[in-house]
Amino acid sequence: MTLLEHDKHAFDEAHYDRLYFEGHVVRYERQVYRQRVDSVGRFMGDVAGLAVLDLGCGVGFFGGTAQRRGARVTGLDFSAVALEMCRQLQPAIPVVRGDATKLPYADRSFDVVLMNDIVEHLAEEMGAQMMRETFRVLRPGGRLVVDTDNDAFLMHKRGFRRINDWLEKDTPQRVALREIKQTYNAPTLHIKLYSVRELRALLESVGYVIEDFDTYPYIAVPSRDALFNLPGLRGLFRGVKGDVQIFRARKPA
């Protein structure tokens, strides 16, 4: 687990301004988040007819995905700016301003909770409390889909980072990201980064049963990614082959 001291005040709402969220919208539009979109969609699966909570909904991208798949979606975020933009971009999704560590919902209210790009923005105990709240509001048999940065990414370790930077430098996603940051150069606002092992332990400590997990790269490099996913190597590198991790976990029936 990595503690980013320079961002220790990242939970203040004022840090999450319009520039921050507009930068995320542009990343979706220019497919910088292509791997995230594909992975979350795959792990979300069939949600038709289900009650889905998009927790830390931001601009509502994944809540919108769930709604288009037939789910009954509710969004929650603590940022008034995010909710204003979500209402504009996803007008059919009801949204609530609230605290992810003190959810304003009764026990067993939802079938699915989506938690995308949020736990890394909270201090350790707040992240654990948020996980406990998701467990409380899920119905027995309900699912949590959570993705966040992966602190164990092999190519960010000493001896590999410069190679990885070179591999990613001129890829379409990295080029697009550099251009986006010229206008939307907001800080990451990340506080805690978890390895796959650490996030798994947190989920299981709350009571979740892990159904599936994977890691994937934020910036795609076809040759590097193909190597990590070769038969016989994929299992070996599964927890370290990407700088983003994703879990699907179930609340026992």
pLDDT value at position 5? Answer: 44
pLDDT value at position 225? Answer: 97
Instruction: Give pLDDT tens digits along the chain (253 positions).
Output: 554 544 455 567 778 899 999 999 999 999 999 999 999 999 999 999 999 999 999 999 999 999 999 999 999 999 999 999 999 999 999 999 999 999 999 999 999 999 999 999 998 999 999 999 999 999 999 999 999 999 999 999 999 999 999 999 999 999 999 999 999 988 888 899 999 999 999 999 999 999 999 999 999 999 999 999 999 999 999 999 999 999 999 999 9
Question: Judging by beta carbons within 10 Å of its beta carbon (0-12, 13-18, 19+), is residue 150 exposed, middle or buried?
Answer: buried
Tokens 């940065």, residue located = 149
User: Given its phi and psi angles, is residue 244 left (phi above 0), alpha (psi -120 to 50 degrees) or beta?
Assistant: beta
- Which residues are 74's β-sheet partners? 53
pLDDT value at position 15? Answer: 81
Asked if 191 contacts 121 with a C-beta cutoff of 8 angstroms, the reply is yes
d(Cα 127, Cα 114) in Å, to the nearest integer?
Answer: 14
pLDDT value at position 3? Answer: 47
pLDDT value at position 182? Answer: 94
User: Pick from 137, 156, 96: which is nearest to 251 by CA?
Assistant: 137
Asked if 105 contacts 216 with a C-beta cutoff of 8 angstroms, the reply is no
d(Cα 82, Cα 21) in Å, to the nearest integer?
Answer: 7
- Which domains, from first to last, does the chain contain? 2-250 (3.40.50.150)
Task: Give the gyration radius of the chain's Cα atoms.
Answer: 18
Q: What is the DSSP string of the chain?
A: -EE-GGGTTTTSGGGS-HHHHHHHHHHHHTTTTHHHHHHHHHHH---TT-EEEEET-TT-HHHHHHHHTT-EEEEEES-HHHHHHHHHH-TTS-EEE--TTS-SS-TT-EEEEEEES-GGGS-HHHHHHHHHHHHHHEEEEEEEEEEEEBTT-GGGSTTTHHHHHHHHTTSHHHHHHHHHHHH--------EEB-HHHHHHHHHHHT-EEEEEEEE-SS--HHHHHHHTSTTTHHHHTTTS-SEEEEEEE---
